[in-house]
């Protein structure tokens, strides 16, 4: 059994890591840290784990004396980079779920996160934790940075088109996200009476995930992010112009070529049916990212759509998938849950 530890295990991403790793047949979680909850049971903040584990949180300072091979980091953006040197000494393999090592260019990081990157020398060591596009590198990488939830959906939806040269010009992304994306401490803005039924355009421009999609697709990306009524779930609608002469068939072929062997990407673009395009509603709890498209023959445009559960494929599930790749295990291990319908 592989021994792993989780930093920041009391948050929502931490809880999903605990859920998935406890169900993983090749992994033992030896430590889950939380300064706030140290000494208390993990099934307090994560009540779905009742009956599955008697584990308690430990303080971050106990990690030094613990023995593990993989460290998952679910710590806040901006804080993680300053501590990364220390984390790297604790474990051979580090899988980071913060935003601090996602962007290759520290200047762009500074521009999107509003602070100077304090560990730019470490950035090149990190591989993007997206097996669909970086599987080979991930198989031998010991520093993995999991992309943001909306970025994962956007990259998986846009990159096949961008790589195949089927689209041109900028990409307009309309991203929608549920409330769990704001984390456990969402404050007054996250109070149910305010957040329920919201269509809150919280980032009309320059959401941080925009930079990740641009980086992964070599496109100018403009993204608008809206909080919608849901706890889990992300959906992106990406509008682009088709290159001259590109047909719907070409688009479909490019998607199929990119993802036909992927365990966690389904191409959904049907003519009929309620769920003919990707929708997060049926993905809750699953590690799928559904991608799809609709081509407007009239004016040569396409809308590329991606959907996922932000805490699974857009976070903890993506991290576990990378773990599976890194250790050469079947990629679906511990990630078999298919999602629910109706839900």
Catalytic annotation, pick one of 56, 149, 238, 322: 149
- 136, 211 contact by CB (below 8 A): no
- The residues, any chain, with a CB within 8 Å of residue 272's CB and separated by 6 or more, are none
**8-state DSSP, 189:** G
Q: Name the residue nearer to a copy of itself (CB basis): 5 or 316.
A: 316
| Contact between 67 and a copy of itself per CB under 8 A | no
Q: Name the residue nearer to a copy of itself (CB basis): 115 or 340.
A: 340
CB of 98 to a copy of itself, least distance (A): 20
d(C-alpha 12, C-alpha 47), whole Å:
12
Q: Is 43 helix (H, G, I), strand (E, B) or coil?
A: coil
Total residues contacting a copy of itself by CB under 8 A comes to 83
Is 289 catalytic? The answer is no
Of 291, 290, 297, 289, which is closest to residue 249 (Cα–Cα)?
297
Range in contact with a copy of itself (rule: CB under 8 A) among 17-25, 113-121, 133-141, 145-153: 17-25
CB of 308 to a copy of itself, least distance (A): 12
| Contact between 186 and a copy of itself per CB under 8 A | yes
d(C-alpha 327, C-alpha 2), whole Å:
9
CB of 55 to a copy of itself, least distance (A): 14
- 275, 250 contact by CB (below 8 A): no
- 161, 184 contact by CB (below 8 A): no
Q: Is 301 helix (H, G, I), strand (E, B) or coil?
A: strand
Q: Which of residues 216-245 bind a copy of itself (CB under 8 A)?
A: 220, 222, 224, 226, 228-233, 235, 237, 239
d(C-alpha 199, C-alpha 170), whole Å:
25
Range in contact with a copy of itself (rule: CB under 8 A) among 102-110, 159-167, 191-199, 314-322: 191-199
| Contact between 194 and a copy of itself per CB under 8 A | yes
Range in contact with a copy of itself (rule: CB under 8 A) among 63-71, 113-121, 125-133, 303-311: 303-311
CB of 175 to a copy of itself, least distance (A): 10
| Contact between 36 and a copy of itself per CB under 8 A | no
* Site mask for a copy of itself (CB under 8 A), range 165-184, x = bound: -------x-x-x-xxx-x-x
Residue 53 CB neighbours (<10 A) = 16
Choosing from 192, 249, 260, 271, the residue that interacts with a copy of itself (CB under 8 A) is 192
Give one DSSP letter per residue of 16-37, joined into a string: HHHHHHHT-TTEEEEEEB-TTT
Choosing from 89, 205, 244, 328, the residue that interacts with a copy of itself (CB under 8 A) is 205
| Angle between helical axes of 248-259 and 149-163 (0-180°, round to 10) | 120
Choosing from 66, 120, 266, 333, the residue that interacts with a copy of itself (CB under 8 A) is 266
| Contact between 51 and a copy of itself per CB under 8 A | yes
d(C-alpha 143, C-alpha 101), whole Å:
10
| Contact between 273 and a copy of itself per CB under 8 A | yes
**8-state DSSP, 224:** E
| Contact between 27 and a copy of itself per CB under 8 A | no
Q: Name the residue nearer to a copy of itself (CB basis): 101 or 259.
A: 259
Is the dihedral angle over the CA atoms 61, 26, 13, 51 positive or is it negative? negative
> For residues 246-280, b (16+ Cβ closer than 10 Å) or e, as one string?
beeebbeebbeebbeebbbbebbbeeeeeeebbbb
Choosing from 193, 245, 249, 260, the residue that interacts with a copy of itself (CB under 8 A) is 193
- The residues, any chain, with a CB within 8 Å of residue 86's CB and separated by 6 or more, are none
Q: Name the residue nearer to a copy of itself (CB basis): 172 or 253.
A: 172
Task: Give the active site residues.
Answer: 149
């Amino acid at each position: 059994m592989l021994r792993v530890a989780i930093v920041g295990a009391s948050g929502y991403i931490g809880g999903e890591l605990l859920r998935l790793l406890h169900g993983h047949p090749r992994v033992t979680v030896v430590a889950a840290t939380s300064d706030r909850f140290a000494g208390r049971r993990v099934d307090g903040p994560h009540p779905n784990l009742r009956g599955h584990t008697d584990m308690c949180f430990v303080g971050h300072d106990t990690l030094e004396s613990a023995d593990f091979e993989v460290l998952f980091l679910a710590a806040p953006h901006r804080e993680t980079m300053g501590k990364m040197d220390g984390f790297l000494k604790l474990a051979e393999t580090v899988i980071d779920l913060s935003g601090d090592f996602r962007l290759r260019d520290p200047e762009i990081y500074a521009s999107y996160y509003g602070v100077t990157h304090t560990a730019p020398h470490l950035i090149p060591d990190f591989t993007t934790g997206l097996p669909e596009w970086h599987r080979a590198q991930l198989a031998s990488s010991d520093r993995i940075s999991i992309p943001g939830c909306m970025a994962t959906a956007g990259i998986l939806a846009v990159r096949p088109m961008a790589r195949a040269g089927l689209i041109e010009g900028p990409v307009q992304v309309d991203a929608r996200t549920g409330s769990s994306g704001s984390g456990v401490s969402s404050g007054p803005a996250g109070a149910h009476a305010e957040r329920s039924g919201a269509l809150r355009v919280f980032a009309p421009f320059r959401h941080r995930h925009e930079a990740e999609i641009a980086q992964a697709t070599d496109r100018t990306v403009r993204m608008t992010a809206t909080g919608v009524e849901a706890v889990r779930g992300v959906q992106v609608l990406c509008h682009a112009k088709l290159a001259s002469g590109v047909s719907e068939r070409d688009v479909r072929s490019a998607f199929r070529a990119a993802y036909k062997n992927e365990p966690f990407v389904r191409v959904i673009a049907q003519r009929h049916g309620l769920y003919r395009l990707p929708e997060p509603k049926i993905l809750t709890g699953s590690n799928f990212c559904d991608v799809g498209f609709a081509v407007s023959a009239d004016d040569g445009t396409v809308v590329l759509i991606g959907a996922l559960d932000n805490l699974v494929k857009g976070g903890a599930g993506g991290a576990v998938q990378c773990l599976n790749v890194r250790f050469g295990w079947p990629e679906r291990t511990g990630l078999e849950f298919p999602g629910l319908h109706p839900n």
